[in-house]
Chains A and B, each alone.
Chain A
Amino acid sequence: MHPAPSVILFTTLSGLGFGLLAYLGLGFPPVTGWVAFVFYAIAYGLAVGGLLASTFHLGHPERAWRAFTQWKTSWLSREGVCAVAALLVMGLYAIGAVFLETHWTLLGLIGAALSIATVFTTSMIYTQLKTIPRWNMSVTPVMFLSFSLSGGALLAGQESLAPWLLLAAGVVQLAYWHKGDQAFASSGTTMGTATGLGDRGAVRAFEPPHTGSNYLLREFVYVVGRKHIQKLRGIALILGFILPILCLWLPTESSMAKHLMAAVAVLAHIAGIMASRWLFFAQAEHVVGLYYGKR
């Protein structure tokens, strides 16, 4: 799949933003006043910025409101509904925390649940696609949720919880790669089933339908950079999980050093998740490539 920068940015940032909102809704940390304002500004900046980035790849962004209508069948629509609901509920909760110095606990719980649901619906947009075996796995939503919860904990300053969640997310990441590498082969789809000619012999693409490229090849058959996969996986693991864990576990004296370490941990984590997300798209092979003799 073509790794569109807007979508990579969206899924990374909004995942973090909604993760942070979930913690704030649960009262971790139980901030009020100005401190709360800063926390909510960061969370909304990430979540809303991500949502806006995702509209850039639409052909008709001005009609985006229509995407709220088909929640009965469409995970993309459900994502839109959940995201707006989470932002509205958490907005109310934030007003209480920032201006009234109160925490409306029930509202916070609902907001946290909606925030997590938003991340889940995002992951289901990809997981539901049988056409992309590397995404069509139960570990895909686990990966999105574990990234969001560990990144959220990091941003929410949950120093004791965050390293363990990061460790868990790193393990999920490894499991995702391991399973993903076998997904296409075990999906059973081959040029033989794609053409229905497989039982007569070995099928080979002889001539493509056109001399130039097309939408399908540009969007679904992305083979650039596959040779750097192992390196990028290493980078994603080190930046996304290992470095942030070290930063949090390193004993530091002054609070200044502590804050610096936290900042390094957050930035490294974001960069690592982006690398992982780039791989998520670039490595995903759509079965339509088989008609072109490619994967």
Chain B
Amino acid sequence: MTELPTTTDRKMGLVIDLDTCVGCHACVISCKGWNTENYGAPLSDQDAYGGDPSGTFLNRVHSFEVQPDEGHAQLIHFPKSCLHCEDAPCVTVCPTGASYKRVEDGIVLVNEDNCIGCGLCAWSCPYGARELDLAEGVMKKCTLCVDRIYNENLPEVDRVPSCVRTCPAGARHFGDLGDPNSDVSKLVAERGGMDLMPEMGTKPVNKYLPPRPKDQIEDQIDVLAPLLAPVTEEAGGFMGWLDKALDKLPGGAS
């Protein structure tokens, strides 16, 4: 049903730390690996080994450069998957009821058996979190690894999304963002977690932790600076006399 629930019991989602993400793309690969074999249709590739490869991914890592008014530019790696929005436009636009938001945990899913592949939900998502699979003709999106997080066949340590489990930098956190006392909610409060494109009114559940301010490179250089600084700006003594004498010769610097 494409009517959004007014509230959900829990708001399960991800918190992504832009400070610690190293841009290794391990989450991209583990997401594709898990999800191509589990929930729904596989994530197909087209021309995978040819000249123009492309494929369906539920999670992609961008890299941005931020140039402040003063100081050095900073490189920020930026993983992006479905944000499981509370006011998800992708759900309400769906004509078939294939897209829905679960009341129990707020996860936004696609029932692929009902999806006609019209693509309108992908049009309505500001974040590019939905991709139509070219081989299957149905809409694919992040499932928050719904087939892992409650899966009692997996060891408890693995009952988190594949991307979270894989991240070597610990940049992805999973939990209930509706519970103010959960670890993820505390992390968001502590680090000033933010929404992407808040002006779109989607109320994303996933939050992004902004990069921490960097140490000043100038301060560090200062330790050696006294030893490296030029002793005098104007050459004196013999070198000074030579400099002036050479300038006086025809063709010398004026």
Chain A residues close to B by CB (< 8 Å): 1, 57-61, 63-64, 66-70, 72-77, 80, 125, 128-132, 187-189, 191, 193-197, 200-216, 219-220, 286-288, 291-292
Contacts of B20 in A (CB 8 A): none
Docked pose: A35 CA to B123 CA in angstroms = 43
Q: Give the shortest distance, in Å, between B7 (CB) and chain A (any CB).
A: 17
Please choose the segment from B61-69, B179-187, B216-224 that sits at the chain A interface, where 4 or more of its residues have CB less than 8 A away.
B61-69
Within 8 A of A (CB), among B1-58: 1-3, 18, 25, 28, 52-57
Among residues of B, the one whose C-beta sits closest to the C-beta of A80 is B95
A203 touches B65 (CB 8 A): yes
A287 touches B126 (CB 8 A): yes
B131 touches A215 (CB 8 A): yes
A74 touches B196 (CB 8 A): no
Number of B residues whose C-beta is below 8 Å from A? 69
Contacts of B92 in A (CB 8 A): 73-74
Task: Kindly state whether residue B116 has any CB partner on chain A within 8 Å.
Answer: yes
Task: Kindly state whether residue B138 has any CB partner on chain A within 8 Å.
Answer: yes
A132 touches B62 (CB 8 A): no
Among residues of A, the one whose C-beta sits closest to the C-beta of B119 is A219
Known A-B contacts A74-B94, A195-B64; the reply to A61 vs B116 at CB < 8 A is yes
Within 8 A of A (CB), among B66-94: 66-69, 73-76, 78, 80, 89, 91-94
Among residues of B, the one whose C-beta sits closest to the C-beta of A208 is B62
Q: Give the shortest distance, in Å, between B232 (CB) and chain A (any CB).
A: 38
Interface of chain B, helix or strand or loop or mixed? loop
Other-chain residue from A66, A130, A187, A195 in contact with B196 (beta carbon distance below 8 A): A195
Contacts of B201 in A (CB 8 A): 130
Task: Kindly state whether residue B96 has any CB partner on chain A within 8 Å.
Answer: yes
Known A-B contacts A73-B3, A196-B195; the reply to A204 vs B67 at CB < 8 A is yes
Contacts of B123 in A (CB 8 A): 1, 129, 131-132, 219-220, 286
Among residues of B, the one whose C-beta sits closest to the C-beta of A194 is B197
Other-chain residue from A57, A60, A69 in contact with B115 (beta carbon distance below 8 A): A60
Interchain residue pairs with CB less than 8 A apart (12):
A57-B118, A59-B137, A63-B114, A66-B97, A70-B2, A130-B89, A195-B196, A200-B68, A202-B66, A205-B64, A214-B57, A219-B123
